[in-house]
Amino acid sequence: MSQNIYDDETLFAGYSRLQRSIHGLDGAPEWPALRGLLPDVQALKVLDLGCGYGWFCRWAAEHGAADVLGVDVSERMLQRAAGWKAHPGITYRRADLESIALPERAFDLIYSSLALHYIENLRGLLTSVHHALLPGARFVFSIEHPVLMAPRRQRFCKDAEGRSFWPLDGYQNEGRRVTHWLAEGVIKQHRTMGTLVNMLIDSGLTLSRMIEWGPSEEQVRSMPALAEEVERPMFLMISAQKSALCRADCYE
Amino acid sequence: MSQNIYDDETLFAGYSRLQRSIHGLDGAPEWPALRGLLPDVQALKVLDLGCGYGWFCRWAAEHGAADVLGVDVSERMLQRAAGWKAHPGITYRRADLESIALPERAFDLIYSSLALHYIENLRGLLTSVHHALLPGARFVFSIEHPVLMAPRRQRFCKDAEGRSFWPLDGYQNEGRRVTHWLAEGVIKQHRTMGTLVNMLIDSGLTLSRMIEWGPSEEQVRSMPALAEEVERPMFLMISAQKSALCRADCYE
């Protein structure tokens, strides 16, 4: 069983007060960029890995997705998700992404927002994702950027002129990072960009787009706290595709 | 015409004294990793973009490449390359990578080491590379890592405990960087990883492997000056492939 941080009371309380928890997708400044990687979801079978409160599941259902399955390891998250006005076509299921079993060739779109940096067995999960996609289907995800996750001290510093910089170190040392985000001792898994990209390729997927998210000028004007985020990449977003020619023998 | 830094006397003199200039490929600590991305060159037609002294051209010829073409914008570099014992099968040609015209579907392998960060019109060059590759052929290159190139102050700092970190800033601001490497006022082009990867994909290539180079423990032991390079990624290396199915109508 993976670390289930969102069932920690302190963390859940803190998470509930974030803009993205109160305002949903529109409270997340990176959502417009992530949405830009998505296909038209009309009539698609969609899976959301780490669905949290289910904001994306509802968005997909409201935009015409045929079926939406949201999975999360957190019971509290799923209770909150299920508490909203029910939308036909959405199913929520509790499952641990470290060991989840997915049906084969079942989804037109697999989505994941800011969940994969918690996963130790990412290689296993990506293999499952590839199996679970229909030929030609897409996997679209965001993850904390390795440059954000690597350092010992994960906060901006000021130089002698008062300008912000990000004190990068330990980039090549992959593995556990213990951070204090909303609660003490949250464990994440630092992997380099190279490792992430090669894991995707090894799983059988083809990279189709990469975004290292930073705020637009307009976002900085309306939310000055985002200004520092131009100094480093904050989130990594990737769209990858399963070959349209991928038949059963791809797996052999 | 692009900036031709290697015909600057100060820079050329400095460059001539680098380990990689004196000892060739074996003087470059990243060479084993880059070599690992290469196919067996036996009987291949090879192009080296930014061939410098021609070390790689000679390596390819000595490993059985059928034809090797080395191009560089620097007259001095090419004179030095031509001054070595001639190897049948190697041709050197002076050309500006900003505007080079390449024959269509002519090469089994296109290689480039630490040259592309000087190129303004990288999108144009990558389009030419895709056209010049045979179906199924590979483009293997190294480039200064965007994390290395982005900051205003491109040197390691020490924290209060005396530990090194890399002061990253300006990552999202793409464009010119003026550095002082061997000579004053060397101009490079900073692009994010996302931009580089998307340019490759837009040119028609498929990403097959990515390495963010850092030294091995053994390399740090034998060359302690490399120790800091575990704190940040130093070079980016990519192997990309043209589709084996790519017929003439790929270009339309």
The rounded mean pLDDT for chain B is: 93
Nearest C-alpha in A relative to B228: A169
Distance from CA of B3 to the nearest CA of A (A): 27
Nearest C-alpha in A relative to B197: A210
Spatial distance between the Cα atoms of B225 and B161, rounded to a whole number of angstroms: 19
Please check whether residue A92 is in contact with residue A51, taking contact to mean a CB–CB distance below 8 angstroms.
yes
Residue from the list B192, B212, B232 with its beta carbon closest to the beta carbon of A194: B212
Which alpha helices (H) appear in B175-230, and where do they start and end? 193-203, 217-222
CA B4 to chain centre: 16
Q: Which helix (H) or strand (E) holds A222?
A: helix A217-222
Amino acid identity, position B161: E
Q: How many CB atoms lie within 10 A of CB B87?
A: 14
Contact A173 B211 (CB under 8 A): no
Sequence-ordered list of residues with C-beta below 8 angstroms from that of B226, at least 6 positions apart, any chain: B29, B215, B219, B220
Contact B232 A166 (CB under 8 A): no
Kindly give the pairing relationship between strand A133-144 and strand A107-113.
parallel
A100 touches chain B (CB under 8 A): no
What angle in degrees, to the nearest 10, is found between the helix axes of B193-203 and B122-132?
A: 40
Per-residue pLDDT of chain A (252 residues; tens, 9 = 90+): 567 777 888 888 888 888 888 888 989 999 999 999 999 999 999 999 999 999 999 999 999 999 999 999 999 999 999 887 778 899 999 999 999 999 999 999 999 999 999 999 999 999 999 999 999 999 999 999 999 999 999 999 999 999 999 999 999 999 999 988 777 788 999 999 999 999 999 999 999 999 999 999 999 999 999 999 999 999 999 999 999 987 654 553
Contact B169 A232 (CB under 8 A): yes
CA B24 to chain centre: 14
Contact A214 B171 (CB under 8 A): yes
Please check whether residue A179 is in contact with residue A154, taking contact to mean a CB–CB distance below 8 angstroms.
yes
Amino acid A56: pLDDT: 97
Nearest C-alpha in B relative to A166: B168
Kindly give the pairing relationship between strand A107-113 and strand A186-190.
unpaired
Give the count of Cβ contacts less than 8 A between chain A and B.
110
B164 touches chain A (CB under 8 A): yes
pLDDT digits 0-9 by tens, B114-147: 999 999 999 999 999 999 999 999 999 999 999 9
Best mutation target among A149, A197, A199, A209 (most B Cβ atoms within 10 Å) is A197
Q: Which residues pair with A211 in a beta bridge?
A: A237
Contact B230 A171 (CB under 8 A): yes
Taking contacts as CB-CB distances below 8 angstroms, the residues of chain B near A193 are: 193, 210, 212, 233
Contact A197 B207 (CB under 8 A): yes
Cα angle, residue B166 at apex, residues B165 and B169 outer, rounded to 5°: 140
Best mutation target among A143, A145, A152, A168 (most B Cβ atoms within 10 Å) is A168
pLDDT digits 0-9 by tens, B149-179: 999 999 999 999 999 999 999 999 999 999 8
Best mutation target among B207, B239, B243 (most A Cβ atoms within 10 Å) is B207
A192 touches chain B (CB under 8 A): yes
Q: How confident is the model at residue B184 (pLDDT cuts 50, 70, 90)?
A: confident
Contact A171 B197 (CB under 8 A): no
Please choose, from the candidates A57, A97, A54, the residue with its C-alpha nearest in 3D space to the C-alpha of residue A73: A97
Amino acid identity, position A196: L
Name the pTM for this structure. Answer: 0.95
| B 214-243 residues inside an 8 A Cβ radius of A | 214, 229-233
B186 touches chain A (CB under 8 A): no
